[in-house]
Structure formats: structure tokens, C-alpha cells
Structure 1
Amino acid sequence: MGVSNESKVPPMAAPDVNVASCPSRLILEHVTSRWGVLVLAALTDGTRRFSELRRTVGGVSEKMLAQTLQTLERDGFVHRQAHPVIPPHVDYSLTPIGEEAARQVWSLARWVESRVPDVMAARDSYEKAKQGR
């Protein structure tokens, strides 16, 4: 009895974010996008409703928040729990892998916050040097 072609799955190459076609690139884009980082960070404090997330993540539109949550849910970082009540009540929380991703990107975000004065000084120096050319 022969082996069917359906059971023959080609081995996947080891993920490499430097390879353009690697799925890791898109995942990296999702968790490190401006809204992705902020949503993951907001959920580190626990489960939140959509409206709470919108208030917490300053500047995000309803559309972008919905898209970001859907993307993070599809990637397995966010769990969406819809409650069968009227009006609709939906809770969002981090999955275990989402908690891990949130810790990583939030650490980077906090580091960025701590280096704002240095970056602003570097920008100022750059602009002054550029004007002096």
C-alpha cells in the first residue's frame, strides 16, 4: 500500500526573519506595530473590554483597534471572549504566548521611553550639523 501525497508535507525551513518569505516577518510586524505593542501592553494588566482598550491606547481609532485585535487574535496572542448578552459584551485577554510577546515588546517600549532625552538630543545635533553643511 503506497503513501498518499496528502500525508507528504514538505519540511519547513527553520524560521529566519531575514528571509523575505519567512512567516516570522509578518508575525514580527504584527507584535511590533505601533498599535500591536500598545494593545499587548494594555492587556498585561488583565482582561479588558474594547472600550477600555480604546481609552487606554491613546490615539487609536476604533477601526485600527478592531483590526489590531483581530490580527493578534488570529496569530494566537489575544483571546476574545464574547458574552451572549445584550448589549454585546466582549472581553480581550492575553494567551500564554501573548503574555510572553507582551513582556518582550513592553520591555522595548519602556527602554524607548527611558532613552527619549538621548534620542531628542541626537536629533537636535543631527539637524544642527545638517544646517551647518
Structure 2
Amino acid sequence: MRPLHPQMFDDLCPSTLSPVRIGDKWGGLLVRCLADGPRRYSELRIPLARITPKAMTHSLRTLERLGLVAREIEGRRVTYALTPLGRSLLEPLNAMCAWSDEHWEELVDAYDPDAEALGA
């Protein structure tokens, strides 16, 4: 399995701009990172460095509770992997990413970061 690329996601990635969320704000990005197979937390941090460790842990736990991600512990080694239910999200996620790519300029133009900061 190839390593995750540090620049896998644009700084203004659709997780912020997308009207569809998987679990929470970062869930879709985590699902995308796990698409090729199980990953350790430290591997996930590479393309998701802008997410605080607390937020990433919260997102992984949310995806676990939803049955989309499984956490496996072997001694001191912890890995995360998509469950069959989580893998079933890959096709719709690919469609959502294609839609976001197609409408990227409109999403960027419409995005209001102040509304998010105010909880709107």
C-alpha cells in the first residue's frame, strides 16, 4: 500500500464547503484516507495535519460509533480500517467529490467562513 500524500487535500477542501457530511466535518476525508486499506493514526495525520489531534480522534470515534470504521488493537499498534458499511460509502463519496469538483468555483464563491464561525 502506498503512503498517503501530505498534499492529498486542498486547504479549502470540500469538507468545509460540501453541503453533505459523513459523520462530521472531517469524516469524509478520513474515509478517503482509509479507502486503500488500514492505516495507523500517525499515517492519517500526514494528509490531515491541519486537523487537531483532538478533532481527528473525535471524528474517528464518531465513524466507529456509526459502524463505518473499525479500530484494531494489536499490542501497542492501533489501526483503523473501513468496515464493509464504510467501504459502501466509497462510491457515493466519489460521486460527491466529482460533484464538488464540477461546482468548485460556485462553492468557493458561496462559502462564508464567518457564518461557520458563528455556528450558522
Same topology, TM > 0.5: yes
Q: Give the match's secondary structure for 1:56.
A: coil
Runs in 1 of length 4+ with deviation above 3 angstroms?
A: none
State the shift of 1:106 in Å: 3.6
Map 1:86-125 → 2, pairs under 5 A: 88-120=76-108, 123=110
Q: Give the match's secondary structure for 2:36.
A: coil
Does the Cα contact within 8 Å between 2:23 and 2:66 map onto a contact in 1?
no
Does the Cα contact within 8 Å between 1:44 and 1:99 map onto a contact in 2?
yes
1:44 counterpart = 2:35: yes
Give the counterpart of 1:68 among 59, 66, 69.
59
The higher radius of gyration belongs to 1
Structure number with the bigger relative contact order (C-alpha 8 A, sep ≥ 6) is 2
Identify unmatched segments of 5+ residues in structure 1. 1-28, 124-133
| Paired amino acid for 1:113 | D
Identity, in percent, stands at 31
Aligned pairs, number? 91
Hey, which of these two has a bigger chunk of helix by percent? 1
